[in-house]
């Protein structure tokens, strides 16, 4: 484009020419004006060319860098991981059936006692000496005693029954039976002491035992209770080899001796 400076210059030249020849005919004026306008145009073009040449010479345009567009492939979007299916809940284990209780073994029947073999009279485990009052002077059983009144009411007789290793005591006042006692074997010393303390007024005692050792145990217990009590001669007996019969010992007024007999076997003491 023609710059504003060039246009102003051409317009001033045209006005100068008109002003210088005001009397020329209009045709001439138009011709001259046309010629001058051309000159002005040419001048303007040359001026533009000069201006352009100056601009080109002064600052040659830089060639634009050729940028090579490389169409990089767009990264394909990674497919979203599909949601994992939730694990199905495991079925709860079914409760195991409780094992049926095993039948308890039936207790074996205890072997029956051999025929013709008597039960042994053994000592019971007692922490306290126990002698119980009996009710029958003709049958003084285990751990029982009968006193003077029962013996007198029985005619002056007393019988200790079911002896199979146990010990019998007969306390006398002179020759009258005052007390008869049945002591379990193994408890001679303790129970003889208890019996002697209860036999008030007795002057002597006759002991019937299966062994000498048991006799001596009873003597120690008696003397612990009453050291002045006289011990009559020992009366020994042998146990019966039977399951139905046992030894009996009998004392009678008027004699310090006792006699041996037989009676029913009813041993009940704890083995």
112 occurs within a structural domain: no
Residue 116 lies in a domain: no
pLDDT-based confidence at 266, cuts 50/70/90? confident
For the residues 79-84, what does the mean pLDDT come to? 60
pTM for this structure?
A: 0.55
Residue 138 in any domain: the answer is: yes
pLDDT at 3: 57
The yes-or-no verdict on residue 235 having pLDDT over 60 is yes
Separation CA 101–CA 107 (nearest Å)? 17
Are residues 139 and 28 located together in one domain of the fold? no
Question: Is pLDDT at 79 greater than 60 in this prediction?
Answer: no
138 lies in the same domain as 249: yes
Instruction: Assess whether 141 and 233 both reside in one domain.
Output: yes
Q: What are the Cα distances from residue 23, in Å, to 36, 74, 186?
A: 17, 81, 189
Would the pLDDT of 120 be above 70? no
* Residue 23 falls inside a structural domain: yes
The more confidently predicted of residues 126 and 136 is 136
**Structural domain range at position 18:** 4-54
Question: Could you tell me if 46 and 149 lie in one domain?
Answer: no
Closest by CA position to 256, among listed 174, 199, 200: 174
Least confident range of 17-21, 104-108, 133-137, 212-216: 17-21
Across 71-76, average pLDDT: 57
Structural domain tally of the chain? Answer: 2
For residue 113, tell me if it sits in a domain: no
Measured from the Cβ of residue 44, the count of other Cβ atoms closer than 10 Å reads 18
Span 244-250, mean pLDDT? 96
The verdict on 250 and 141 lying in the same domain is yes
For residue 197, give the CATH number of its domain.
3.30.1330.200
Residue 233 lies in a domain: yes
In a domain, 80, yes or no: no
- In a domain? residue 95: no
Residue 184, pLDDT above cutoff 90: yes
């Amino acid at each position: 484009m023609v710059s504003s400076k060039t246009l102003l210059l051409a317009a001033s030249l045209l006005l100068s020419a008109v002003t210088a020849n005001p009397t020329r005919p209009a045709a001439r004026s138009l011709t001259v004006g046309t010629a001058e306008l051309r000159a002005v145009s040419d001048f303007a073009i040359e001026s533009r060319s000069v201006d352009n040449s100056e601009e080109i010479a002064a600052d040659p345009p830089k060639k634009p860098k050729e940028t090579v567009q490389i169409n990089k492939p767009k990264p394909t979007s990674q497919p979203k991981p599909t949601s994992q299916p939730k694990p199905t809940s495991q079925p709860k284990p079914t409760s195991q059936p409780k094992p049926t209780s095993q039948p308890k073994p039936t207790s074996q029947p205890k072997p029956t006692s051999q025929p013709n073999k008597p039960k042994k009279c053994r000592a019971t485990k007692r922490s306290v000496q126990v002698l119980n009052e009996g009710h029958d002077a003709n049958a003084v059983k285990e751990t029982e005693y009968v006193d003077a009144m029962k013996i007198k009411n029985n005619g002056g007789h007393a019988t200790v029954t079911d002896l199979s290793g146990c010990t019998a005591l007969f306390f006398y006042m002179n020759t009258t039976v005052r007390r008869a006692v049945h002591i379990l074997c193994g408890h001679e010393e303790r129970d003889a002491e208890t019996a002697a303390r209860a036999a008030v007024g007795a002057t002597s005692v006759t002991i019937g035992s299966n062994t000498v050792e048991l006799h001596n145990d009873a003597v120690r217990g008696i003397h612990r209770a009453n050291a002045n009590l006289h011990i009559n001669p020992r009366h020994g007996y042998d146990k019966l080899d039977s399951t139905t019969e046992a030894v009996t010992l009998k004392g009678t007024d008027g004699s310090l001796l006792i006699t041996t007999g037989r009676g029913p076997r009813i041993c009940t003491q704890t083995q």
